[in-house]
Chain A
Amino acid sequence: MDTAVTQQRSMLSQLGAIDCDVHPDAPGREDLLPYFDDYWREIVTTRDVDRLELTNFPTRTKPFFREDWKATEGKGVEKLRKNLLDPYGLKYAILNCVTAVHAIYDPYLATAVCRATNDWLKAEWLDRDPRLRASLVLPMQNPEAAVEEIERFADDKRFVQVLTLCMGEMPLGRRTYWPVYEAAQRHGFALGVHAGSAYRHAPSQSGFLSYLAEDYVHQVQGFAAQVGSFVSEGVLGKFPDMKIVLIESGVSWLPGQMWRMSKDWRGARIEIPWVKESPSALVRRQIRMTTQPFDAPRDPAELERIIEHLDCDDMLLFSTDYPHAQFEGEAAIPAGFPERLIDRLVRENALATYPRLED
């Protein structure tokens, strides 16, 4: 292990780093069976509701499971400890369970699978390691049930965020979802928007793409559309205490969009007069981003320029995106990340983003 790696590791543990994007193995039917009631157990068994994995976010494929991590003995929490929690000395790791539940059409089945998934997260993960925190998986197909799910877990502070995808049924700013945001804000949850598509719509304006590589590139468009939607529908002003976290978004695309939206707002604001400040200001106040992947130029010296363009020291949250193959070795913090912001990156910003997370 070279010194840079050792240094990064010991720095992370000294600072009590919070990893804001860690993926548990996506649960299959066998994992979830104990958490369904008898009706849903019958349904998922008879009707083959089994491998709950998004085509767009296939967790068992090569890019989504780093070889060296995959090779580690063990499974579940045990494997996570060996690969991540122990070596990085993490204070907390926030589990984001990205599964095909978002793509299920039947709103009641989606709700049942969400409930089972959250119970499974609690029993199989949170209860087994005190460093773990998690996002609630929500059935956005059924906003009423999503609110109920938030209420069900309101007292379990280990759930710090509610989770949805950057490409779902509708732009997330729509009023349909506001009751969900109202409940989330009331209980101090952040809203996590994760990479992934339910394939309700093609990920590009020219249809479905041939390759996974292209599909992954297109996640940026989903995130950018959601930022535009949150701003222009007035969600940011309406729910000012709820942070929105863009998880696994790539980061460096955001300044360009802020520039364009703020420019356009000056001339087009009469379309959305409830947006009283420039979109950049709103985004900086309320939108947060995890840092893996970080689409940066090859030269680490350029990273500081991107950070300057973001112009918001509170925006970035440390993440490994475990177990995806995003970085080599242990270099989870993007090369060239400015020293002066490390503390914020690995800890402080997360604490400010997730009110349910205790220091």
Chain B
Amino acid sequence: MTAMRFDDLEGVYELLGESIDRAGEEKAALFLAKLALLLANELEDPQTVRTAIETALRDL
């Protein structure tokens, strides 16, 4: 898997922030869970998702 350019990633960061605001505080978790599922569906290897989940669970 190749990483996105940082400039693009920054754009994604902004868009995510705005979209969370569009979803609203109450629905933010639902929105993000849907998004995670959509992105997972784009991937071939379930292990990639499992590793990402482990990383995201750290330092909460």
Do the two chains belong together in a single complex? no
- A positions within 8 Å CB-CB of B: none
